[in-house]
Amino acid sequence: MGESPQASDAAALPRFAGPWLLWGLGVGYVVSGDYFGWNFGIGAGGTGGMWIATAIMAVMYTALVFTIAELATALPVAGGPYAFARWAFGPFAGFITGLAVTIETTIAPAVIASGIGGYLAGLVGASPGAWQWWLPAMVYVVFVGLNLLGSVVSLRALLVVTAIASAAIVVWAIALAPVALTRAVETGPALPHGVVGVLAALPAGGWFFLAIEGVPLAAEDARDPPRDLPRAMLGAMATLLGFAVVILAIAPRVTGDAIATAGNPLPAAVEAAFGRGWLSIGIGGVGLVGLAASMLSIVFAYSRQVYALARAGYLPAALGRTDRRRVPRMALVVPAVIGYLALVLAQALAPPGAAAADLLMQVAVFAALVAYVLIAASHVALRRRSPELARPYRTPLPTLTPLVVIVIATVALLASLWLVNAAGIAATVTLALLGVGALYYRFVARARVRGRTIHDEFALVRAAETGAD
């Protein structure tokens, strides 16, 4: 394929982020999953089923991080996963991968916006239903607005809120560990639904780690991508693994099965142990900070993916332009509108017994799983077809590691299609969106990218616009 393409400092996005900012981005993407969403898996699979599901997804995400670390240093561009598949398999595979990541990162903020409503309701003692329409709109306005100030502002703010949210989980664990050890509440059967329950809990297990793969989307914001991206991703994954183990070891033992339906599971555990007081209110308040960290970072992520797809010609050109702050304004605003409308639609149409946030969470997870299969397959293909590609970081066990991702992600995908519940609905919706995207590519986008090679797209990065044009 020739010389490894490296995005130059002439790219339209500012290069300033070091390893700590990128670590904050990686943990920030995910930390809301520690505060909200994972508990749905206990309702689906029981406590034991959730442990097994989380362990399976932890193995997959660890392998995914090692896999992506190599790809991100070889192809350090804002398109991230899209660029990997485009280089390995061509323009259609690149588009479908980018579309899957776009669905994931557009829908995930809607789940987080719903979680913010649950935490606020818990703080003031109100019904979450009272917040479901107007509060998410305000959340989107605030966090899209922060990103519109530029990545220098948004990523530095993100590092601060991520550090606060991470410290609060440590404080929460120290306070509740003695309670979990000495007076644990009885729970139901560990595996009430057997293997089916484990499969149903896989999306919630993945919620502890979902979106960490978005770190390479900041490749054109990073000062030294080959050095800093792997360090940040591996450090973030280690942090998230620790959080998942601590939370699952403590929360269900303190609250019992009631944690499965809590809108604010970490403060709910504090209230179960000590009653409502300063600690539960404090954890609830910091929980909002954790949700804010993920909202801020995933809004950043979808803007980079949409920007890259538009710059490459797949999406309308307006989505691939930056303003005078070098911010992809339209790529921030348009997906926010779509995500909010998806939340409103899910709240209106969710079947009885299915929470809108749970349904949307599983749409995001299913779309992510599709992307993971394609990313790992890209790693395998590029190792064989492009051995000359510069790889500043190399994946350990390069044959086995991406294969682990492919196998587990495929099993999770097939399980979602098989299950006749919220997971099945989410899988059907996601496949329908990808099908519409394939038709869009066939009749609209293919003509735009015809004759354009991946080398041309990397040349666009090197000569990227510095202003609005």
Q: Does any domain span residue 457?
A: no
Q: Does any domain span residue 9?
A: no
Q: Is the dihedral of CA 245, 249, 255, 258 positive or negative?
A: positive
| Residue scoring higher pLDDT (177 or 127) | 177
First to last CA, the chain: 30
For the chain, give the mean pLDDT. 85
Q: Which residues pair with 17 in a beta bridge?
A: 222
- Reduced to 3 states (helix: H, G, I; strand: E, B; else coil), residue 228 is helix
Phi then psi for residue 397, to 5 deg, are 45, 65
b/e per residue, 169-181, with b = 16+ CB within 10 A?
Answer: beebbebbeebbe
Percentage of the chain exceeding pLDDT 90: 40
Q: Which of 218, 195, 203 is nearest to 49 (CA)?
A: 195
- Reduced to 3 states (helix: H, G, I; strand: E, B; else coil), residue 276 is coil
Pairwise CA distance, residues 184 & 364, whole Å: 33
| Each residue's pLDDT tens digit, 134-157 | 888 888 999 999 889 887 777 888
Helices assigned H by DSSP within 125-224:
134-148, 151-182, 194-206
Confidence of residue 276 (pLDDT cuts 50, 70, 90): confident
Q: What is the per-residue pLDDT for 6? A: 42
Pairwise CA distance, residues 267 & 283, whole Å: 6
Pairwise CA distance, residues 73 & 264, whole Å: 38
Confidence of residue 326 (pLDDT cuts 50, 70, 90): confident
Q: Does any domain span residue 460?
A: no
Q: Which of 340, 290, 284 is nearest to 136 (CA)?
A: 340
454 token code pair: 């991946």
With contact defined as beta carbons under 8 Å apart, do 98 and 389 qualify?
A: no
Instruction: Give how many domains the chain has, as a whole number.
Output: 1
Q: What is the per-residue pLDDT for 125? A: 65
Q: Domain residues for 337?
A: 19-451
With contact defined as beta carbons under 8 Å apart, do 344 and 404 qualify?
A: no
With contact defined as beta carbons under 8 Å apart, do 222 and 2 qualify?
A: no
Q: Does any domain span residue 23?
A: yes
Tell me, letter by letter, the H, E, C secondary structure of 30-70. HCHHHHCCCCHHHHHHHHHHHHHHHHHHHHHHHHHHHHHHH
| Each residue's pLDDT tens digit, 221-259 | 788 888 899 999 999 999 999 999 999 999 999 998 888
| Residue scoring higher pLDDT (292 or 221) | 292
Q: What is the per-residue pLDDT for 467? A: 36
Q: Which of 112, 114, 94 is nearest to 102 (CA)?
A: 94
Q: Does any domain span residue 13?
A: no
Query: Is pLDDT at 130 greater than 60 in this prediction?
Result: no
Q: Does any domain span residue 331?
A: yes
Query: Is pLDDT at 133 greater than 80 in this prediction?
Result: no
- Reduced to 3 states (helix: H, G, I; strand: E, B; else coil), residue 387 is coil
Q: What is the per-residue pLDDT for 1? A: 40
Q: What is the per-residue pLDDT for 243? A: 97
Q: Does any domain span residue 11?
A: no
Confidence of residue 129 (pLDDT cuts 50, 70, 90): low
Mean pLDDT of 397-417: 91
| Each residue's pLDDT tens digit, 357-400 | 778 888 998 999 999 999 999 999 999 988 888 898 999 999 99
76 token code pair: 């350090």
Please identify which residue in the block is written with the tokens 């989410």: 426
CATH for 261 = 1.20.1740.10
| Each residue's pLDDT tens digit, 90-126 | 899 999 999 999 999 999 999 888 878 767 776 776 6
Query: Is pLDDT at 291 greater than 90 in this prediction?
Result: no
Q: Which of 357, 353, 332 is nearest to 345 (CA)?
A: 357
Confidence of residue 442 (pLDDT cuts 50, 70, 90): very high
Q: What is the per-residue pLDDT for 140? A: 92
Q: Which residues pair with 222 in a beta bridge?
A: 17
Q: What is the per-residue pLDDT for 413? A: 87
Q: What is the per-residue pLDDT for 247? A: 96
Q: Does any domain span residue 4?
A: no
Query: Is pLDDT at 78 greater than 80 in this prediction?
Result: no
